[in-house]
């Protein structure tokens, strides 16, 4: 899973001003907009390594565009989608010695997060969420 997440971060480099972060942004003063990459557990009853003896792995991920307003969050996701699948349903992810197909699954949600405020303001950050499946072969 780690090589896939690293490949996703590399493919998304430069897509958003605030960068690409795994699970959380630890920057003291985050730049907006930024992207969060979150792995999604597809099947909690089996260890992922038991699914396929050939080392193939299927990984679901959510990309969250985080911005000061809904438009900036959506633009970050649009840029990410362009980088990963080029406006199509499938794309290719480059990894050392392996190949991975990336599938855009759907746009999931748009919302303001009242628990996460824009630093120095009382305004909530806005989030937009897309989901993808990565087929690591």
> Of 2-16, 50-64, 70-84, where does the model show the most confidence?
70-84
Considering only residues 46 and 78, tell me which one the structure prediction assigns the higher pLDDT: 78
Owner of token pair 């959510």: 62
Please tell me the distance from the alpha carbon of residue 100 to that of residue 95, in angstroms, as a whole number. Answer: 7
Give residue-wise pLDDT tens across range 63-96. Answer: 999 999 999 999 999 999 999 999 899 999 988 8
Considering only residues 89 and 117, tell me which one the structure prediction assigns the higher pLDDT: 89
Range of lowest pLDDT (49-53, 56-60, 81-85, 116-120): 49-53
Going by C-alpha positions, the residue among 113, 107, 109, 108 that lies closest to residue 30 is: 113
Q: Which helix (H) or strand (E) holds 45?
A: none
**Domain boundary assignment for the chain:** 1-39, 46-86
Please tell me the distance from the alpha carbon of residue 48 to that of residue 67, in angstroms, as a whole number. Answer: 33
Please tell me the distance from the alpha carbon of residue 33 to that of residue 39, in angstroms, as a whole number. Answer: 20
User: What is the pairing mode between strands 20-22 and 57-67?
Assistant: unpaired
Residue 114 DSSP class:
E
> Of 23-32, 40-49, 66-75, where does the model show the most confidence?
66-75
pTM: 0.86
């Amino acid at each position: 899973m780690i090589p896939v997440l690293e490949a996703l971060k590399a493919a998304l480099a430069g897509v958003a001003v605030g960068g690409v972060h795994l699970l959380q942004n630890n920057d003291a003063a985050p730049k907006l907009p930024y992207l969060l990459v979150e792995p999604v557990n597809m099947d909690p009853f089996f260890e992922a390594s038991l699914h396929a003896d050939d080392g193939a792995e299927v990984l679901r991920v959510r990309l969250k565009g985080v911005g000061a307003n809904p438009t900036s969050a959506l633009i970050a996701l649009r840029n990410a989608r362009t980088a990963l699948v080029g406006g199509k349903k499938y794309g290719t992810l480059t990894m050392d010695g392996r190949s991975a197909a990336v599938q855009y699954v759907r746009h999931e949600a748009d919302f303001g997060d009242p628990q996460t405020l824009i630093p120095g303001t009382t305004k909530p950050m806005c989030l937009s969420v897309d989901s993808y499946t990565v087929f690591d072969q």
